Amino acid sequence: MGTKQEMLGHPFMVGLAPEHQAAMVECAREAFIQKGTWLLRNGDLADQFFLVQEGVLSIELYVPNRAEHSIQTVHPGELLGWDWMVPPYRWTFDVRAQEDCRAFAVDARCIRGKGQVDHEFGYQLQNRISQVMARRVKALRFQLLDVYSHEP
């Protein structure tokens, strides 16, 4: 079972003030996701986010008349999910476990409440998640450039 120390060692947690780390730990639980399991589905309530400890998750997009298409993967040490920050709090992608995974699932309502009370904590969360978003968008941009550069 994951420990508080293990969660505190996750790259997303490193450098947060001790009281902010405590708030994160208080809102988290350990989650196990079996290979092949859908963790998130487009349109469902975004009520948590994940600090991935083990395994690989695939962010997928449904393309009409085709199967799901993997657009990115999330690995140990990374964060999964930011739709919980923006109303209407609905997932915009599907996520499936490519292998057995273990993560810390952080309750979104709990964290949003703590961020509303402690604005510095809310700012730190938004700043860190914005960095994750920027990296993912940049990676997607390069992926799309690669796809379209091979068209006839």
pLDDT digits (tens, 9 = 90+) for 108-148: 999 999 999 999 999 999 999 988 888 877 766 665 655 55
Report the sign of the C-alpha dihedral through residues 15, 19, 24, 30, in that order. positive
24, 106 Cβ separation under 8 angstroms? yes
Type of residue found at 101: C
d(CA 95, CA 71): 10
C-beta of residue 121 within 8 angstroms of C-beta of residue 25: no
Q: What are 55-104's pLDDT values in tens digits?
A: 999 998 877 777 777 888 999 999 999 899 999 999 999 999 999 999 99
Q: How far apart are CA 64 and CA 109, in angstroms?
A: 33
Q: What angle do CA 80, 146, 81 make, to 5 degrees?
A: 10
Task: Quote the pLDDT of residue 35.
Answer: 98
Average pLDDT over residues 44-53: 97
Measure the CA–CA gap between 23 and 120, rounded to whole angstroms.
12
Q: Is the predicted pLDDT of residue 26 greater than 80, yes or no?
A: yes
Backbone angles phi, psi at 84, to 5 degrees: -70, -15
pLDDT of residue 146: 55
Supply 115's token pair.
């961020």
Half-sphere exposure of 64 (CA within 13 A, CB side): 0
